[in-house]
C-alpha cells in the first residue's frame, strides 16, 4: 500500500496559498474542482453519488479557501464509464489552469487511462471508487484513493464464503478488465481456502441469464460470485432465485448500489 496522503482539500489549500503568494502569477480568485464520473449510462446512479458527495464536500470544507478570498466552483465531467471519454475529459480539464483538483473516477479502466494525464500534468487527483491495485501500485504522487483494493476485498469475500462452510462456488464476470480481475482474485483465494470453483465464465448478457444459470444449477454450486458492476449481478441473482437457487450470492464492491 502507498504511504498516507494528505486530505484532498488540504492539498487545494496549499495550492491556493501558493497562488496567493507575493510575486505569484495567479490566474484569478476562483478555484475549480472537477469531477469525472458516469452521469449517463448504466452506472449513472453511482456517478451521481460521486458528484453529489463532492458537491457536499465543497459546501462543507471550502471555508478556509473562501476566507482567503477564493471562490470554489464544482465542474462536472461525464466520462460515461469509458476510457476514451475519460481521457478526452482529462485533456480538457488539464488545459484549464484554475482546475486544481479532480474527484473520480468510478470505473478502474477509466481511472487508469485518465490518471496518466493527471500524472503528466501534476494535477491533484482523488478517486473514491476505483479499486484496481494498479491505481496506486504505479506510485504516482498525484493520485490518491479512498476505497480498498480489489485483491484485498475479493480475498476477504472468499474468506467470508469459507467461514460459512460453503464448499463450492460458480464464478461469473462481466468481461470487463475490472470484473474479470475481481473474479480472478476471488477464484485464487477461494481455491486457497479449499473451496471448489466449479465454473468460471464471462458474459456480456444484461437481461437473460438462462444459459449461465443452467450451468450453475447443473454444477450444483452452493454459491455464486459475480465480478462486475451492480446492474448485471443484481439481475443474475434475481433470476437465480426465480429458478430455485438457494445458495449464497456474492459480488465485489461494484455491487454497492441502492438499485442492486
- In terms of DSSP H, where are the helices of the chain? 8-20, 44-61, 63-67, 83-94, 108-121, 134-137, 150-163, 177-192, 210-218, 231-242
Q: Beta strand pairing status for 99-104 and 143-145?
A: unpaired
Distance of CA 145 to the CA centre of its chain: 9
- 33, 146 in Cβ contact below 8 A? no
Task: State the pTM of this model.
Answer: 0.78
Percentage of the residues of the chain whose pLDDT score is greater than 70: 87
- 7, 62 in Cβ contact below 8 A? no
Q: Tell me the mean pLDDT in the region 60-70.
A: 86
Q: Residue 220's pLDDT band (boundaries 50, 70, 90)? A: very high
- 199, 171 in Cβ contact below 8 A? yes
The pLDDT assigned to 253 comes to 75
Cα atoms found within 13 Å of the Cα of residue 196, Cβ hemisphere only: 7
Percentage of the residues of the chain whose pLDDT score is greater than 90: 62
Q: Tell me the mean pLDDT in the region 98-112.
A: 92
Q: Residue 10's pLDDT band (boundaries 50, 70, 90)? A: low
pLDDT value at 34 more than 60: yes
Lowest mean pLDDT among 61-70, 102-111, 149-158: 61-70
Q: Residue 246's pLDDT band (boundaries 50, 70, 90)? A: very high
- Mean model confidence pLDDT for the chain: 87
pLDDT value at 230 more than 90: no
For 240, residues 6+ apart whose C-beta sits below 8 A from its C-beta are 209, 213, 216, 224, 249
How many Cβ atoms sit within 10 Å of the Cβ of residue 192?
12
Grid cell listed for 38:
458516469
The pLDDT assigned to 243 comes to 96
The pLDDT assigned to 176 comes to 84
The pLDDT assigned to 18 comes to 46
Q: Greater confidence, 169 or 2?
A: 169
Amino acid at each position: 500500500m502507498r504511504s498516507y496522503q494528505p486530505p484532498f482539500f488540504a492539498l487545494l489549500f496549499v495550492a491556493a496559498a501558493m497562488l496567493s503568494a507575493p510575486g505569484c502569477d495567479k490566474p484569478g480568485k476562483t478555484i475549480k474542482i472537477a469531477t469525472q464520473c458516469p452521469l449517463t449510462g448504466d452506472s449513472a446512479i453511482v456517478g451521481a453519488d460521486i458528484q453529489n458527495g463532492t458537491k457536499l464536500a465543497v459546501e462543507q470544507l471550502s471555508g478556509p479557501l473562501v476566507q482567503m478570498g477564493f471562490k470554489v466552483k464544482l465542474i462536472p465531467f461525464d466520462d460515461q464509464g469509458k476510457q476514451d471519454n475519460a481521457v478526452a475529459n482529462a485533456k480538457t480539464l488539464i488545459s484549464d489552469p484554475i482546475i486544481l483538483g479532480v474527484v473520480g473516477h468510478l470505473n478502474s479502466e477509466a481511472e487508469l487511462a485518465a490518471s496518466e494525464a493527471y500524472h503528466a500534468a501534476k494535477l491533484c487527483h482523488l478517486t473514491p471508487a476505483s479499486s484496481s491495485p494498479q491505481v496506486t501500485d504505479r506510485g504516482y504522487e498525484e493520485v490518491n484513493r479512498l476505497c480498498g483494493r480489489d485483491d484485498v476485498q475479493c480475498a476477504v469475500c472468499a474468506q467470508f464464503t469459507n467461514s460459512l462452510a460453503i464448499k463450492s462456488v460458480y464464478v461469473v464476470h462481466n468481461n470487463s478488465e475490472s470484473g474479470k480481475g475481481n473474479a480472478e482474485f476471488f477464484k485464487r483465494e477461494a481455491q486457497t481456502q479449499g473451496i471448489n470453483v466449479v465454473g468460471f465464465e464471462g458474459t456480456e448478457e444484461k437481461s437473460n441469464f438462462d444459459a449461465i444459470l443452467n450451468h450453475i444449477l447443473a454444477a450444483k454450486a452452493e454459491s455464486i460470485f459475480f465480478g462486475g458492476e451492480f446492474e448485471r449481478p443484481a439481475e443474475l441473482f434475481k433470476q437465480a432465485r426465480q429458478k430455485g437457487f438457494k445458495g449464497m450470492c456474492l459480488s465485489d464492491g461494484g455491487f454497492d448500489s441502492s438499485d442492486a
